[in-house]
């Protein structure tokens, strides 16, 4: 949150606080306004005391007693304060005014104190509720921001080591593909470390990363794998939060048997329908479950958590697993409304 936003929020809170106090005082003054002979001293006393009670209750009594669940103690303290302050006001009126220290005015001052206590209690509770919700929202967004910064600052280390080893192997045999693969790895690092620093990226950039990732996976295979990526019906200029599709591709290679050219396969489709993004990925599974990489990776569950925060009630994520295949269907409405 920017300093300007914080200052604006503080000013707004102070205005609401002052308004509540003023309304409390005005209400009390109406109860005292039928006797002009003693009105002015009573008004001055009432203003000072009502504001003192209002602020003391919100900033001192409520946080230390009521917000800690000590309701009975808060009620006792409230009654005690009302009686004590009423007696003090009554004594002050006896010293400063003529005929002001009567039982009638004592009752009216008690009313002023009670109204100030009730008004400040209601306001304090409503403010606490708003503050709690705001803190919860801020904390949630802060956590997802920290999480995203962490994800953006890393590539699966196991994949990175393999990629460097593969590039080294290509350089040893003086393969013509070496410069191209270096550029692909450079582009992947640039996307992870820099491009995704913005809150949203073009779908085309994430697709480039996926295609480069697949190219590096192919380097480890002896024959051409059965992999098909369809992005023909995708608006690559559409903006989305980064790294929403990549984890599913990583997951396919991590748990699938795509490197088996006879039995393994991977099908990926990315398309857009107006503001709607549809992502489909389906891959073969080996007869015996495997996990080729126990280190790194963003994770499918992480994506689900991010979707809950980034696109609440605006996404579908269906995951199906059979004995021979694993499939993902993700649909996101990118239009915020």
Q: Which residue has the higher pLDDT, 99 or 202?
A: 202
Selection from 233, 196, 231, 234 nearest residue 214 by Cα: 231
Instruction: Say which CATH topology domain 153-333 has.
Output: Heat Shock Protein 90 (3.30.565)
Quote the pLDDT of residue 278.
97
Contacts of 239 (CB under 8 A, 6+ apart): 200, 201, 202, 203, 334
Length of the chain as a residue count:
337
Residue range(s) in the chain whose domain bears CATH number 3.30.565.10: 153-333
- Across the chain, mean pLDDT equals 78
- Two tokens at 288? 């015996």
Confidence of residue 99 (pLDDT cuts 50, 70, 90): low
Distance between alpha carbon 125 and the CA centroid of its chain, in Å?
23
Residue 317 pLDDT greater than 90, yes or no: yes
Do 252 and 283 meet the contact criterion of CB atoms below 8 Å apart? yes
**Cβ atoms of 124 and 56 closer than 8 Å:** no
pLDDT tens digit string along 112-160?
Answer: 777 778 877 887 777 777 777 777 777 777 776 676 666 555 556 677 8
What is the mean pLDDT of the segment spanning 272-283?
Answer: 96
- Residue, of 49 and 3, whose pLDDT is higher: 49
Handedness of CA 93, 94, 95, 100 (dihedral sign): positive
201, containing H or E segment? strand 201-202
Residue 147: alpha-carbon gap to chain centroid:
11
Confidence band of 298 (pLDDT split at 50, 70, 90): low
Inter-residue contact 316 to 276 (CB < 8 Å): no
* Structure confidence at residue 7 (pLDDT): 47
Residues 213-242, mean pLDDT to the nearest whole number: 92
Q: Tell me the average pLDDT across 286-291.
A: 75
Percent of the chain whose predicted confidence (pLDDT) is above 90:
26
Give the largest CA-CA distance in the chain. 109
CA distances in angstroms from 125 to 58, 67, 69, listed in the order given: 9, 9, 12
pLDDT at 320 over 90: yes
Chain position carrying tokens 């004995």? 323
Q: Of 213 and 41, which is predicted with more confidence?
A: 213
Which pLDDT belongs to residue 5?
42
pLDDT higher than 60, residue 105: yes
pTM of the model: 0.60
* Band of residue 84 on the pLDDT scale cut at 50, 70, 90: confident
pLDDT of 4-43, one tens digit each?
Answer: 444 444 555 555 555 555 555 555 554 454 554 455 556 6
> Secondary structure of the chain: what % helix, strand, coil (to 5)?
60, 10, 25
Nearest in space to 326 (alpha carbons), one of 280, 278, 260: 280
Give the model's confidence band at 282: pLDDT under 50 very low, under 70 low, under 90 confident, else very high: very high
Closest CA to 62 of 46, 51, 73, 47: 73
DSSP one-letter string for 279-302: EEEEEE--SS---S--S----HHH
pLDDT tens by residue, 151-192: 555 556 677 888 888 899 899 998 999 999 999 999 998 888
Transcribe 132-195 into DSSP letters.
Answer: HHHHHHHHHHHHHHHHHHHHHT---HHHHHHHHHHHHHHHHTT-TTHHHHHHHHHHHHHHHHTG
- Report the pLDDT value the prediction gives residue 155, as an integer from 0 to 100: 54
Which one, of 259, 260, 303, lies nearest residue 279 by Cα? 303
């Amino acid at each position: 949150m920017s300093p300007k936003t914080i200052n604006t929020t503080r000013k707004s809170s102070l205005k609401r606080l002052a308004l509540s106090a003023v309304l409390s005082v005005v209400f009390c003054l109406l109860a005292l306004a039928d006797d002009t002979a003693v009105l002015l001293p009573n008004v001055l006393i009432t203003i000072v005391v009502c504001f003192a009670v209002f602020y003391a209750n919100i900033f001192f009594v409520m946080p230390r007693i009521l917000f800690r669940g000590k309701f009975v103690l808060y009620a006792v303290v409230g009654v005690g304060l009302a009686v004590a302050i009423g007696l003090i006001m009554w004594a002050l009126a006896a010293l400063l005014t003529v005929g002001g220290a009567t039982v009638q005015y004592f009752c009216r001052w008690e009313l002023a104190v009670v109204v100030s206590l009730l008004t400040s209690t209601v306001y304090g509770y409503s403010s606490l509720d708003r503050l709690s919700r705001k803190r919860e929202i801020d904390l949630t967004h802060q956590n997802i921001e920290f999480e995203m910064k962490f994800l953006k600052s890393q590539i699966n280390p196991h994949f990175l080591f393999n990629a460097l080893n593969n590039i080294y192997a290509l350089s040893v045999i003086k393969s013509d593909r070496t410069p191209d693969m270096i550029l692909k790895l450079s582009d992947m690092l640039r996307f992870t470390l820099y491009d995704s620093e913005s809150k949203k990226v073009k779908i085309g950039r994430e697709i480039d990363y996926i295609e480069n990732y697949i190219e590096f996976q192919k380097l480890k295979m002896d024959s051409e794998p059965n992999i098909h990526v369809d992005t023909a019906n995708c608006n690559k200029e559409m903006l989305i939060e980064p790294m929403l599709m990549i984890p599913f591709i990583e997951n396919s290679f991590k748990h699938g048997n795509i490197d088996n050219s006879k039995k393994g396969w991977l099908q990926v489709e990315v398309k857009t329908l107006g503001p709607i993004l549809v992502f489909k990925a389906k891959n073969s599974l080996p007869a015996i479950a495997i996990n080729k990489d126990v280190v790194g990776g963003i994770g499918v569950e992480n994506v689900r958590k991010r979707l809950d925060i980034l696109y609440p009630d605006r996404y579908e994520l269906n995951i199906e697993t059979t004995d021979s295949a694993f499939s993902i269907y993700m649909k996101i409405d990118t239009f915020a409304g």
